[in-house]
């Protein structure tokens, strides 16, 4: 590695060979690992970051020109790698959190769907036990969404009679839906 010094006492690197690379590595690797460990609190990740920095320098050795102090260059590279590490860590955690939430949401949706179908089936069984006219009024009201005047017109009944049938059906359903599981 050719090392030139300019007037500001900054070290410039024009070319890296094996011997100069080893010297650079031996001089800075421990300090870089300590710097990364301090900021990341994970020894393995810190050593991986330093290894990545030196691998990158070695791969670009033939056309790498460092025009600042080598120490500043290495520690700036470490800071950038640490920032990248936290950015990736945040993305993974955020992605995991989203997956976990959507998984829990889908489980809840499945449970809710099953409970809804069970309840709907139970209510249908109760409705089938209603007297004929009462069942017709309830079905037109709840399943078809018709109003009391529309039901009265369709079944040729008075509105008061439709209200009475609907009240009777709802009272019957309420009685059986509110009962405790142990009661019959």
Q: Residue 91: which domain range?
A: 2-96
CB 51 within 8 A of CB 97: no
103 domain-assigned: no
Q: What is the mean pLDDT of each run of 10 residues along the chain (184 residues)?
A: 44 71 92 93 93 92 82 92 89 74 65 80 88 91 90 93 93 80 50
pLDDT at 142: 87
Q: Do 76 and 6 lie in a common domain? A: yes
Q: Do 92 and 133 lie in a common domain? A: no
pLDDT at 61: 85
pLDDT at 55: 93
Give the global pTM.
0.47
Q: Do 92 and 143 lie in a common domain? A: no
Q: Do 65 and 150 lie in a common domain? A: no
pLDDT at 103: 64
Residue 136's alpha-carbon distances to 76, 131, 141, 146, 163, in angstroms, are: 79, 9, 8, 11, 12
Q: Do 70 and 140 lie in a common domain? A: no
CATH number for the domain including 55? 1.10.1740.10
CB 13 within 8 A of CB 1: yes
Q: Do 32 and 87 lie in a common domain? A: yes
142 domain-assigned: yes
What gap in Å lies between CA 128 and CA 179, rounded to an integer?
18
21 domain-assigned: yes
Q: Where are the beta strands (DSSP E) in the chain?
A: 2-5, 11-15
């Amino acid at each position: 590695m050719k090392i030139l010094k300019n007037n500001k006492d900054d070290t410039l690197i024009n070319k890296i060979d094996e011997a100069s690379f080893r010297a650079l590595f031996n001089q800075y690797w421990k300090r870089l690992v300590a710097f990364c460990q301090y900021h990341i609190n994970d020894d393995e990740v810190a050593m991986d970051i330093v290894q990545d920095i030196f691998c990158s320098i070695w791969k670009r050795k033939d056309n790498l020109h460092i025009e600042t102090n080598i120490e500043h260059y290495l520690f700036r590279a470490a800071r950038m790698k640490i920032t990248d590490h936290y950015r990736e860590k945040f993305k993974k955690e955020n992605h995991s959190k989203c997956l976990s939430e959507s998984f829990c949401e889908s489980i809840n949706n499945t449970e809710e769907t099953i409970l809804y179908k069970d309840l709907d089936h139970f209510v249908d069984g109760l409705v089938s036990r209603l007297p004929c006219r009462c069942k017709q009024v309830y079905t037109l009201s709840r399943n078809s969404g018709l109003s009391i005047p529309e039901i009265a017109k369709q079944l040729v009944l008075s509105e008061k009679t439709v209200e009475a049938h609907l009240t009777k059906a709802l009272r019957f359903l309420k009685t059986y839906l509110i009962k405790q599981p142990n009661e019959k």
